[in-house]
Amino acid sequence: MTVFFSKACELGIQAVLFLSIKKGKVIFSAEEISKELKVPKEFVSKILQKLTYHGIVGSKKGKKGGFYLAKNPSLIRIIDIIEAIDGLYVFKTCVLGFPGCSNENPCPVHNKWGKLRDEAFKMFSEETLEQLKEKTIQKILSL
């Protein structure tokens, strides 16, 4: 269960991380990616199409078509994937959903959440997929 991002965003991150550990522009079908990540093919396809629209993933149509990483992994950060799927809304709003939550009119967890939110944004913005490659390989192999 996720609290921070949508299930689509989590899966998008996993799919892009999967593509990032492959050499060159190897093309994988949505079915191949779904089997590797153990998620429904239709869900994978829909999310990868959205990431294609945002230029993170590329696609090739046809019988031997599929998806590939459109950019070098050294140019992609997890925050790019988050922004493409969920937007940066979670980093700008009240975690409890109170309208008008601000420093002047804080919710009960405003100060603590603000620190966590800023740290999370920083963490997702700092490292590239290339820098996460070894950890990603270990995780994908353990699925």
* Assigned token pair, 11: 């899966």
Confidence (pLDDT) at 2: 53
Report the b/e string of 12-30 with b at 16+ CB within 10 A.
Answer: bbbbbbbbbbeeeeebbbb
Query: Taking Cα atoms as reference points, which of 43, 29, 22 lies closest to residue 140?
Result: 22
Confidence (pLDDT) at 1: 41
SS3 6: coil
Give 7-141's CATH code, choosing from 3.40.190.10, 1.10.10.10, 1.20.1260.10, 1.10.3720.10: 1.10.10.10
SS3 57: strand
In angstroms, what CA-CA distances link 36 with 83, 91, 126? Answer: 24, 30, 27
pTM of the model: 0.89
Report the C-alpha gap between 4 and 79 in whole angstroms: 13
pLDDT tens per residue across all 143 residues of the chain:
456 789 999 999 999 999 999 877 789 999 999 999 999 998 999 999 999 999 999 999 988 889 999 999 999 999 999 999 999 988 988 889 899 999 999 999 999 988 999 999 999 999 999 999 999 988 888 87
Query: Taking Cα atoms as reference points, which of 10, 37, 6, 5 lies closest to residue 21?
Result: 37
* Assigned token pair, 27: 């093309």
Confidence (pLDDT) at 60: 92
Report the C-alpha gap between 67 and 128 in whole angstroms: 20
